[in-house]
Amino acid sequence: MKYFWVLTIAVTVTCCLGLPAKKLFGWPDDPFDMEVFGTSPRRDLDFNQLCEYDGYSCETHSVTTEDGYVLSMFRLPAPSNCSGERAPLMFQHGLYLTGDDCLIPGPGKAHCYIYNDACYDVWVPNNRGNRYGRNHVRLNPDRDSSFWDYSLEEHSYKDLPAAIDYVLKETGKEKLVFVGHSQGVTMLMLLCAEKPEYNDKIEIGFGLSVTGWLDHARFPVITLQELLTGILTSVVDLGVNAEVLPHGGLTNQAAEFLCGITTLTYPICSVFVFAMLGYNEFQITKEVLPVVVGHVPGGTSIKNFNRWGQLRKNGFTKYDHGWLGNIKEYGNLSPPEFDLSAVTMPWVFIASENDYVGDVRDINKLLPKLKNVNMCILGDKTFGHLDFIYGKDIPNYITPKVLSQLEKGSFECT
Catalytic residues: 182, 355, 385
Residue type, 19: L
Nearest to 202 by CA among 170, 165, 157: 165
The Cα 99–Cα 103 span in angstroms is: 8
Nearest to 57 by CA among 74, 82, 40: 74
Beta bridge partners of 309: none
The Cα 345–Cα 373 span in angstroms is: 8
The Cα 34–Cα 179 span in angstroms is: 33
Beta bridge partners of 64: 70
Beta bridge partners of 75: 59, 123
Question: Does residue 103 contact residue 50 with C-beta atoms inside 8 Å?
Answer: yes
The Cα 216–Cα 51 span in angstroms is: 37
In sequence order, what DSSP letters do the residues of 249-297 get, joined into one string? SHHHHHHHHHHSS-GGGHHHHHHHHHHHH----TTS-TTTHHHHTTT--
Per-position b or e across 162-198, b if 16+ CB within 10 A of its CB: bbbebbbeeeebeebbbbbbbbbbbbbbbbbbbeeeb
The Cα 241–Cα 16 span in angstroms is: 12
Residue 408 CB contacts under 8 Å (≥ 6 apart), including other chains: none
The Cα 34–Cα 106 span in angstroms is: 18
The Cα 173–Cα 158 span in angstroms is: 21
What separation in angstroms does the CA of 331 have from each of 251, 313, 320, 327, 328? 40, 20, 12, 4, 6
